[in-house]
Amino acid sequence: MLRAKLSALSTVVVACAAVLLGGCSTTDVDKTANWSPNRIYSEAKDELSNGSYDKAVPLFEKLEGRAAGTPLAQQAQLEKAYAQYKGGEKAQAIATLDRFLKLHPASPAVDYALYLKGVVNFNDDLGLFSALSRQDLSERDQKAAQESYEAFRELTNRFPESRYTPDARQRMVYIVNSLAQYDVHVARYYYRRGAYVAAISRAQSALAEYRDVPALEEALYILIQSYDALGMAQLRDDARRVMDASYPQSQYLTRGFRANSDPWWKLW
């Protein structure tokens, strides 16, 4: 009787082990093992086109290894970065692009890598809710905008004839406007809370740092109002003279902050 029970138990253990091993072997099977690099690339591109970025990324990684040392491997690395970006993995995309730029400084695709790096950090997707709430890039963390600008600047300096340079230049203008508007946004915040010295400091920072951007008109208006609130008549009048000379038709002087009811930016 005992022998029969042991025999039955042994059968169950063997069966379970077989199931577990079978499951493991199935999990570890690499379906791409016998694929050519071209087939892997084709499959990865299909997943990318279908929006299956989580499936495209590992395929591009496979291709990087299979086609190491070839232009196809470089292409796989760039397309992996794009898939990571589209899949919301921006930090991973930047890391992939930095690695590409370090390993392939002479690649003919360096201009694209710099452009994509700038685009990844260019936070232009405001979304429906942000658009309705009138949020713009100037009200967001500026670190990404600055890093985006640096990537675009390197692209335009090194590759002025690149097909990506015209768009990069337009985005640089947008970013500069955004960075200036950020300082003015903060200055306005301080002014409305009665922190006039802080408002003056931030407005002056914008005026010293930037040239020919829309935000400077409001920066001057904030200076005038802040100096007036502090009883600094001479400085107020000096700022007013600059305002009159630079923006003779300014509506800030007649409408106040309501003149800024419409955002300077537009969706890309």
| Range of the structural domain that residue 255 is part of | 175-260
Give the sign of the dihedral formed by CA 103, CA 104, CA 109, CA 115. positive
Is residue 5 assigned to a domain?
A: no
Is residue 204 assigned to a domain?
A: yes
Q: Report how far residue 200's alpha carbon sits from residue 198's, in angstroms, rounded to the nearest whole number.
A: 5
Is residue 222 assigned to a domain?
A: yes
CATH number at residue 206: 1.25.40
| Residue that is last in its domain, among 23, 56, 90 | 90
Q: What is the pTM of this model?
A: 0.74
Is residue 154 assigned to a domain?
A: no
Instruction: Specify whether the CB–CB gap between 111 and 162 falls below 8 A.
Output: yes
Total Cβ atoms within 10 A of residue 146: 13
Q: Report how far residue 250's alpha carbon sits from residue 156's, in angstroms, rounded to the nearest whole number.
A: 34
pLDDT by residue for the chain (268 residues), tens only, comes to: 545 544 554 554 445 554 455 554 445 677 888 899 999 999 999 999 999 999 999 999 999 998 898 999 999 999 999 999 999 999 999 999 999 999 999 999 999 999 999 999 986 443 333 333 344 444 556 788 889 999 999 999 999 999 999 999 999 999 999 889 989 999 999 999 999 999 999 999 999 999 989 999 999 999 999 999 999 999 999 999 999 999 999 989 888 886 565 554 444 4
Domain count, the chain: 2
Total Cβ atoms within 10 A of residue 250: 16
